[in-house]
A and B are shown apart, each in its own frame.
Chain A
Amino acid sequence: MTAPLPQHSPRMSVAGNAPSLWQAARALLARDLRLLWRRRGDALQPALFALIVVVLFALALGNDPALQARVAAGVLWVAALLAGLLALDTLFRGDAEDGSLEQWMLAPVPLAWLVAVRTFMHWATTAWPLLLATPFLAELMHLPRAQLPVLMTGLALGTPLLSLIGAVVAALTVGMRRSGILVGLLALPLYVPVLVFGAGSVAASAQGLDPVGALLLLAAGLIVATVLAPLTAAAAIRIAVN
């Protein structure tokens, strides 16, 4: 049944063939894309959910373009935020339950790097479809076209920030059996500033004010989170896996 073992050169002389950061990242991205494709029904759920929220809002607010235009940015932001929240609990849970996280920790690349790659995938799968659909959804909500670039920039800066904050929360709760409600409760207060500045930038531009300040704050938050969130999440995972 089993094949004979071949002879090898001595193992001790084989050194330095640990994967580089890029090789490890590529392996993880390829795996996640494959899994995404195998479970494409589940994977589309967050984006579909956001779509439904926006469309239902547009229908519920009736034929009042002025009112829709006022709330459009807020609705789109909330939809993006909830879509990300929906996929948050699955970010590390599956990998924790089947032992993959243990093997991540034992890989010769920093755990924080793998966490960052995984978080990037979360952002790509939940936010990119929504970002692509935003121009159409904005049209549906009668958002003035002049405000669309501000909304798009805000979402492009804000959604990765939401994913990074969410990764820390997901890592903190990964050791618990059932943490659905806890993830939401922990993430919500951390999400609020992002929402305030994101939706606020569009509101400011609607009033003829300069939205750049709020967008720059989002960008600053994104930079800080890009550096700190993977490290924090990795530390939380190390505590959870034992």
Chain B
Amino acid sequence: MTDPYASAPPLLAARDLRFARNDEPVFGPLDFAVDAGEALLIRGDNGAGKTTLLRVLAGLLRPEAGRIEIDGHGTDAPARTRALAYLGHLPALKADLGALENLEFLCGLQGRRRGQSSDAAMRIVGLDGYQDALARQLSAGQKKRLSLARIWLSPAPVWLLDEPYANLDLDGIELVNRMVQAHLREGGAALVTTHGAYAAPPVRTRELILERPA
């Protein structure tokens, strides 16, 4: 993929990235770059390695080979944590804590964007009035919205969103698209995995299609 913005290094880039589980190749070698203000849509069938790719980028899995660059610098997993916010399949919510308490904890752990309050983020994701509801009482879609509030509050410029549309209603899908759009407008980047059934956010988008290794 040629880089039209060659003057500035891409926000996130993978070079010759490969991952194998028990010597079975899962994906790669992959080369891609995501600039500030861009979204990378990662498509592929079930089992193609979309989630694995995001987990490798996040630093939860160690790549077999290759480099992951942030702002043009090669990084290891701990160095990437400041730049990345990860939305995975597991909500990381404690069932016995309230929605706001969960959000406050995760922000305390991962940092918070300046000038952002948890209450405002709860309003944005449409959970106003659920501040004190225990996480166990939230529906799957509401848990997803709470996770989106965490991503919104994260100071990281690169969002890794693994199936962000899953469990969400139409309004929620629209919310994800608006959040991604606003984030990109401010100079962030987003990597979004999807199996293609949902509308992509209306932003400058690159596409990466993963196929199951033969």
Could you tell me which A residues sit within 8 Å of B by CB distance?
A: 1-3, 5-6, 8-12, 14-15, 17-19, 23-24, 26-28, 30-31, 34-35, 38-39, 94, 98-100, 102-110, 114, 241-242
17 new A-B contacts at CB < 8 Å, known A9-B186, A11-B183, A108-B111: A2-B123, A2-B178, A3-B128, A8-B182, A11-B188, A12-B187, A34-B97, A99-B88, A103-B92, A103-B106, A105-B81, A106-B59, A106-B110, A108-B110, A241-B60, A242-B55, A242-B61
A residues near B110, Cβ cutoff 8 Å: 18-19, 103, 106-108
What are 25 A-to-B residue pairs whose CB atoms are below 8 Å? A3-B128, A8-B113, A9-B186, A11-B155, A11-B186, A12-B36, A15-B155, A17-B111, A17-B113, A18-B111, A18-B155, A24-B108, A27-B105, A35-B97, A38-B97, A39-B96, A98-B91, A100-B94, A102-B90, A103-B109, A107-B81, A108-B81, A108-B82, A241-B60, A242-B60
B residues near A8, Cβ cutoff 8 Å: 113, 115, 182, 186
- Whether A35 contacts B61 in the complex (CB less than 8 A), given A5-B124, A14-B155, A107-B109, comes out as no
B96 close to A26 (CB less than 8 A):
no
Across chains A and B, which 9 residue pairs bring their CB atoms closest together, nearest first? A99-B90, A27-B108, A2-B126, A99-B92, A3-B123, A38-B96, A12-B187, A18-B111, A1-B126
B residues near A9, Cβ cutoff 8 Å: 115, 186
B60 close to A102 (CB less than 8 A):
yes
Select B86's contact among A15, A34, A106, beta carbons within 8 Å: A106
Whole-angstrom distance between the alpha carbons of A50 and B74 in the complex?
52
A104 close to B96 (CB less than 8 A):
no
CB interface residues, B 67-96, toward A, < 8 Å: 77-78, 81-82, 84-86, 88-96
Whole-angstrom distance between the alpha carbons of A12 and B71 in the complex?
11
> Smallest CB–CB gap between B52 and chain A, Å?
9
B residues near A31, Cβ cutoff 8 Å: 94, 97, 101, 105
User: What residue in chain A is nearest B178 (Cβ atoms)?
Assistant: A5
User: What residue in chain A is nearest B187 (Cβ atoms)?
Assistant: A12
B residues near A12, Cβ cutoff 8 Å: 36, 157, 186-188
B residues near A10, Cβ cutoff 8 Å: 186-187
A residues near B90, Cβ cutoff 8 Å: 98-99, 102
Mark each residue of chain B from 118 to 139: 1 if its CB lies under 8 Å from any CB of chain A, else 0. 0010011110100000000000
A106 close to B58 (CB less than 8 A):
yes
B109 close to A17 (CB less than 8 A):
no
- Whether A27 contacts B109 in the complex (CB less than 8 A), given A10-B186, A11-B157, A100-B92, comes out as yes
B24 at interface (Cβ–Cβ under 8 A)? no
B residues near A23, Cβ cutoff 8 Å: 108
> Smallest CB–CB gap between A151 and chain B, Å?
36
User: What residue in chain B is nearest A15 (Cβ atoms)?
Assistant: B155
B residues near A114, Cβ cutoff 8 Å: 109
- Whether A3 contacts B126 in the complex (CB less than 8 A), given A10-B187, A14-B114, comes out as yes
Whole-angstrom distance between the alpha carbons of A68 and B33 in the complex?
72
> Smallest CB–CB gap between B48 and chain A, Å?
18
Select A2's contact among B97, B109, B124, beta carbons within 8 Å: B124
Select A98's contact among B92, B120, B157, beta carbons within 8 Å: B92
B105 close to A17 (CB less than 8 A):
no
Whole-angstrom distance between the alpha carbons of A108 and B75 in the complex?
14
B residues near A98, Cβ cutoff 8 Å: 90-95
